[in-house]
Amino acid sequence: MKEGREIFKLSGEPESSEEIRRDRDMLPSRSGGLEKSPELEDFLRRVDFALLYDIFKRIAEKSGINPETLNLLNPDRIFNKHIIEEGQIKKAKDNEPTGNLGGYEATRNIIFFYIKEMEKNQQTDFLGIHPDLLKLHALCHEETHATAKTICRGVFARSRHTKVQMGYQQSEFKKTILGDRLKRFFEFFNEGVTEKLAREVFQEYTVATAFADTNDLSTFREKVDAFYSSYVILVDAFIAKISSQTGISEDMVWKAIIRGMYEGENLMESELKQAFDEMVSRGFAKRLAEAETADDIQSLIDELHTT
């Protein structure tokens, strides 16, 4: 049974059993800028994690994934963080609200909420959305990242070179004499798939619980489309394209994409790459991998709509 989270040495050899145990059992030290605010503690106490896990497990099962392999994070691994680091998700458009209060850190296997973003949200009632719903949405999004296939290479050696795969996203970090270099591939596609699935999880969770007031929920649903909107539009256009080219229903294509995220499918693999060349256009997988600006994402969407 392949676990959803795997750790290797940079060489590709398995990590020592001691490191594997440490990765699984030890919580990161609080000294690394991590803490838990009373607001976060209070929010986490009110979330029904057993229900949240059930929802993720059902989704995994429907896509052909063994639900026991999912790396679901419990409140022990959810923190506040003070500093916003560089290299955090870029907004495709400056005016596009991501609805994102934090992130998932694959190397330490934690979810975090930026304390400043959370406070801002608490005070200003961001976009008119109830603060709890924004937190819940962010939690669903970050748990989706956490449950996606994660493969860390070289992260325990304090090495100057690490490779991390998170769902469809692949990143490579190198410390060089000219400074730090971080390269990411398929970031936008991975964010779109993550957010699309997170919305389904959020929907199921709120239907099944009395977590939120009905009015607050309907306001949230009116506004959620604005979050990560160009990423999700990209994924929807991709699904429509593959469906029309193959005759496979959009729902089945979507399930296959979810399975790919949980299996850590490499979209640059020759067979898939060739299929995209034929179904969309030559070099599509490469352009999808390397997209990093709002213009890049828009031209990919246009390409999917017109070819």
* Residue 111 or 280 having the CB closest to Zn ion: 111
* Residue 8 or 188 having the CB closest to Zn ion: 188
CB of 132 to Zn ion, least distance (A): 20
Give residue for tokens 């070179």.
Answer: 161
The answer to whether 162 and 152 are in contact (CB under 8 A) is: yes
Angle, CA of 136, 166 and 208, to the nearest 5°: 25
The amino acid at 86: E
* Residue 106 or 280 having the CB closest to Zn ion: 106
What 9-12 contacts at long range (C-beta under 8 Å, 24+ apart), as own/partner pairs, is 9/153, 9/154, 9/157, 10/153, 10/154, 10/157, 10/159, 10/161, 10/162, 10/163, 12/153
* Residue 132 or 191 having the CB closest to Zn ion: 191
What is the largest distance, in Å, between two alpha-carbon atoms of the chain?
55
* Residue 156 or 189 having the CB closest to Zn ion: 189
Phi, psi of 151 (to 5 degrees): -130, 120
CB of 21 to Zn ion, least distance (A): 28
The answer to whether 116 and 88 are in contact (CB under 8 A) is: no
CB of 194 to Zn ion, least distance (A): 5
CB of 167 to Zn ion, least distance (A): 9
CB of 243 to Zn ion, least distance (A): 25
Residue window 180-219: x/- pattern of binding to Zn ion, with contact defined by CB under 5 A: -----------x----------------------------
Size of the site for Zn ion (CB under 5 A): 1
Q: Which residues of the shown chain bind Zn ion in the complex (CB under 5 A)? A: 191
